[in-house]
Structure 1
Amino acid sequence: MEQHGSSSTLSMWKQRIAYTFSGFGQAAFYNALSTYFVVYVTTSLFAQIDTKLAAKLIGIITGLIVIIRIAEIFIDPLLGNLIDNTSTSWGRFRPWQLIGGVVSAVLLLMVYTGLFGLVNINQTWFIVLFVITFIVLDIFYSLRDISFWGMIPALSEDSHERALYTSLGSFGASLGFNGLTIIVVPVVSYFSFIFTGKHAQQQSGWTVLAIIVMLLAIVSAMSGAFGTRERESALRVKAQENGNPIQAFKAIAKNDQLLWMALSYVCYAIANTATVGVLFYLFKFVLNKEAAFSIAGVIPVITGFIVTPLYPVLNKYISRRYLFIIGMVSMVIAYGLFAFGSASLAAVITGLILFYLPSTLISMTAILTMTDSVEYGQLKTGRRNEAVTLSVRPMLDKIAGALSNGIVGFIAVAAGMVGSATATDMTAANIHTFKIFAFYTPLALIIVSLIVFIVTVKIDEKEHERIVAQLEHQLDAINRRV
């Protein structure tokens, strides 16, 4: 018995490590796609094209990304429904982690090479093929992301155990996302110099970075696919038939707690992703300290190491509702420092600490609330929609990434932070434009997010326990009648 228990514990920890590493590669991929792809577009993709034409093409590309991702709002629930209705010996989620991870990784490399140089040969064909490639990339990325987070309810029905997996997934994601921020400038600059002899970000450097991210994404997808196992339970077995796509949309529409949390989260996510996207421009054009940009990656890695493992511990004594509120207040203070102290490296660093410290508290609360809304929706509708319900958060991240891409691209052009421009070229008007869209607008979204959460979101740990108990009671009653 003791040996069996030891083996079971070892297997459990192997699964937890595999899940954590899967999140690591997934988040690095997302950062490359949502943040640095726009930096690549505005600085290097059109470097060999006339400046005026390049500015127009930057606007077209960033605009297309926004349109494509907003249009795909209606696709993600369908992908969630596809996953929910998948039946294999691997389970529902693992096959899509592997397939989605591999396909999207290869396509990421393609867009980071200007479709292998087509951008410099024929811009019309480049735009057409870019749209097709990006749509396919986004769909397979969504399958990977939905299956990754959607697996949490399949791993456990206990709210605290889910908090542990959410913590591990978020911990790996934090390391992957911010680890890429740390290496992006050194890697791109180093390999640009190796291939061109120039101390600036060139196409060759971005290509090497894309190769690194592609390989990491593939290996991490394999980790999630082969290193985890779904757990069957009475509630999951009872809900094997998950309905058609129309029922999937109905499941989301009837889950009011999911929708309110989604509204609060998307406001936060847009603000957060847009701010992360402009940090490179803050260091390069406002502070004139591009070499110090790695700080923007080191700080979240350190705060992630501290806060993410502590979340389950903090959550034992402090309701996640209050952890969310505390995190939002910290972000409000951070934006104040960015807005009024953007010319001071010390003020920016302090702002970055206050900005990144609560990100785990906020994102994990949102993920857990949406995860617990699986049972809430099951109680209301009689159907258990795991992947459909949890497709909402990746969908929101996609919306946030799309809008932030548009915001960052707009800021770069409007503030004159494109091409070969430097900090010495910036005027007071340029800096003012930058601040309005980089700091004041996200701050307003954070305040809206906090108000929506406080007023409308009711699911917490105790409420979830009550819902699960009621579902189990209903299932027992059905079994007794049978």
Structure 2
Amino acid sequence: MSDHQEQSSVPASTRGNLGRRVAYAFGNLGQAAFYNALSTYFVVYVTSVLFVNVDKGTATKLIGLITGLIVVIRIAEIFLDPLLGNIIDNTTTRFGRFRPWQFIGGLVSAVLLVMVYTGLFGLVNVNQTWFIVLFVIVFIVLDVFYSMRDISYWGMIPAIASDSNERSVYTALGTFTGSIGYNGITVVVVPIVSYFSFKFTGSHTESQSGWTAFAIITALLGVLTAWTVAFGTKENESALRSKAQKNGNPLQAFAALAKNDQLLWVALSYLLYAVANVATNGVMFYLFKFVLGMPDSFSIAGVIPVITGLIMAPAFPVLNRWIPRRFLFIVGMALMIAGYLLFSVAATSLPVVIIALILFYLPATFIQMTAILCLTDSIEYGQLKTGRRNEAVTLSVRPMLDKIAGALSNGIVGFIAVAAGMTGTATAADMTASNISTFKTFAFYVPLAFIVLSLLVFLFTVKIDEKMHAQIVTELEEKLGTESIEADE
């Protein structure tokens, strides 16, 4: 049989579905890399390079001001995310509800990322007052358009899959590539910044030019992957979607969310986890540079989660066929707690830190995917209770929670950098016992408490699982008078 005949023997619908899965998965590669560059390494850039031409006293004040502004801006924008989700839910185009926002959000956020990583094209060194004013405006717009991209990306899952198992496949694919993108940035950030710093300044010391090059590379990857989703996926129309009540205005959407108790409990558990996760991730660079005194070994903190993500993301939908996701979540949390305990007692030992990193990153995929799937399945739960199917609004909750966590992480990282003396030209040799104690308190002890609280909330309040979701879908089918939940294309 010829290659052409073999290819033709594969149903077109199967090939098309595979292509959409690949296109969808590729989207989160750049999106997760973009998020890490914005939520973690932008603060590193601010504390290390942005104010290098300003005297130390003024620079310390400006670092505090910028990190404080980021926290305030991102927390204020949190309340916009459900509004943005409502806009997406009410978008009607021939390209669907979600794809246009992949195209627009990917482009605008990429351009603005480059702007903030250039100190607004050097304005920071010309007029600091104008820089602060314009920075607030640019960062708000950047965050809004990134949110539109993020909300529309995860909001697509219930539009392309109605079955909980199929949703786990798309979620696994997005999480798989997201792990590569997010942690891949950690692997390449130091080499990229060092290479381009040397290229433009002749010194391997991190510089403005190095960080600008890093932002440009991240932005280009962001645009490419967003447009892959925009042009490579297609929404399916289901009976549950077509027969649901209109999404309504923001007040009606918020009222529907408030009645969805399972959504709210999952959200609280995930928020506690996310705050701990990003806070610890945000200070990994400082751990290697100032505590271990091994900044050149920092890529380990990126390699480990990439490897664990490559293993665990594909494993989730396979294991979930036999093991309930609730159990996978609990085991994952137990491993994370063990990792934090190792960080706390032996943060100055590289071999122990490596073991702790493995325990910290290994279960992250299972924890995040369980939360995402519970949130996704709560759409039908909410539809059964209220009659409204708010896909994007419901799934805007997770990006909103990530944004809260990212904002708190920015504040924690900025606080630690200043309080522990980890700014400017400081080195590991300058660290005192008090500095290390301050670092460990906010990097490990406080996040550990959040992880324990997250587990307790999940155990005692979250009830929605695969079996419960299947029952809800059956009830909805009967209620809407349809035997099939998904129409053929």
> TM-score over 0.5 for the alignment?
yes
Partner amino acid for 1:146?
A: I
Q: Partners in 1 of 2:8 and 2:253 — Cα distance?
A: 44
Residue number in structure 2 paired with 1:471: 476
8 Å CA contact retained: 2:477, 2:483: no
Selected match of 2:39 from 14, 34, 38: 34
Selected match of 1:212 from 214, 217, 236: 217
Per the TM alignment, residue 241 of structure 1 is displaced from its structure 2 partner at its CA by 1.8
Partner amino acid for 1:35?
A: T
Partner amino acid for 1:135?
A: I
Q: How does 1:329-348 map to 2 (within 5 A)?
A: 329-348=334-353
Selected match of 1:353 from 337, 358, 361: 358
Q: How does 1:226-305 map to 2 (within 5 A)?
A: 226-239=231-244, 241-305=246-310
CA gap of 1:354–1:202, structure 2 versus 1, over 3 A, is same
Q: Partners in 2 of 1:131 and 1:4 — Cα distance?
A: 56
Selected match of 2:137 from 122, 132, 137: 132
Per the TM alignment, residue 194 of structure 1 is displaced from its structure 2 partner at its CA by 1.2
Higher helix content, 1 or 2: 1
Residue number in structure 1 paired with 2:102: 97
Residue number in structure 2 paired with 1:448: 453
Partner amino acid for 2:445?
A: Y
Q: Partners in 2 of 1:408 and 1:317 — Cα distance?
A: 40
Q: How does 1:81-120 map to 2 (within 5 A)?
A: 81-120=86-125
Per the TM alignment, residue 477 of structure 1 is displaced from its structure 2 partner at its CA by 7.5
Q: Partners in 1 of 2:483 and 2:20 — Cα distance?
A: 34
Partner amino acid for 1:9?
A: T
1:359-401 CA distance string (max 9 Å, x none): 0000000000000000000001001000000000000000000
CA gap of 1:166–1:411, structure 2 versus 1, over 3 A, is same
Q: How does 1:57-206 map to 2 (within 5 A)?
A: 57-206=62-211
Equivalent residue of 2:11, what SS?
A: helix
Q: Partners in 2 of 1:269 and 1:251 — Cα distance?
A: 24
**Which runs of 5 or more structure 2 residues have no equivalent in the other structure?**
1-6, 485-489
Equivalent residue of 1:313, what SS?
A: helix
Per the TM alignment, residue 239 of structure 1 is displaced from its structure 2 partner at its CA by 2.3
Q: Partners in 1 of 2:302 and 2:78 — Cα distance?
A: 30
Q: Partners in 1 of 2:110 and 2:292 — Cα distance?
A: 34
Q: Partners in 2 of 1:44 and 1:27 — Cα distance?
A: 23
8 Å CA contact retained: 2:120, 2:135: yes
Equivalent residue of 1:220, what SS?
A: helix
Partner amino acid for 2:98?
A: F
Per the TM alignment, residue 201 of structure 1 is displaced from its structure 2 partner at its CA by 1.0
Q: Partners in 2 of 1:452 and 1:477 — Cα distance?
A: 36
Residue number in structure 1 paired with 2:382: 377
Per the TM alignment, residue 5 of structure 1 is displaced from its structure 2 partner at its CA by 5.2
Q: How does 1:364-443 map to 2 (within 5 A)?
A: 364-443=369-448
Partner amino acid for 1:143?
A: M
Per the TM alignment, residue 251 of structure 1 is displaced from its structure 2 partner at its CA by 1.6
User: Matched residues, percent identical?
Assistant: 69
Q: Partners in 2 of 1:84 and 1:45 — Cα distance?
A: 39
8 Å CA contact retained: 2:47, 2:63: yes
Residue number in structure 1 paired with 2:4: none
1:420-448 CA distance string (max 9 Å, x none): 10010101110011000110010000001
Residue number in structure 2 paired with 1:225: 230
Partner amino acid for 2:403?
A: K
Partner amino acid for 1:268?
A: Y
- 1:43 matches 2:77: no
Q: Partners in 2 of 1:248 and 1:400 — Cα distance?
A: 23
Q: Partners in 2 of 1:369 and 1:26 — Cα distance?
A: 22
Per the TM alignment, residue 172 of structure 1 is displaced from its structure 2 partner at its CA by 0.8
1:26-76 CA distance string (max 9 Å, x none): 000000000100000000011110111111111111111111111112100
| Range moving further from structure 2, 92-101 or 235-244 | 235-244
Per the TM alignment, residue 115 of structure 1 is displaced from its structure 2 partner at its CA by 0.3
Per the TM alignment, residue 6 of structure 1 is displaced from its structure 2 partner at its CA by 2.2
TM-score (norm 1): 0.98
Aligned-residue CA RMSD (Å): 1.4
Per the TM alignment, residue 193 of structure 1 is displaced from its structure 2 partner at its CA by 1.1
Q: Partners in 2 of 1:337 and 1:408 — Cα distance?
A: 21
TM-score (norm 2): 0.96
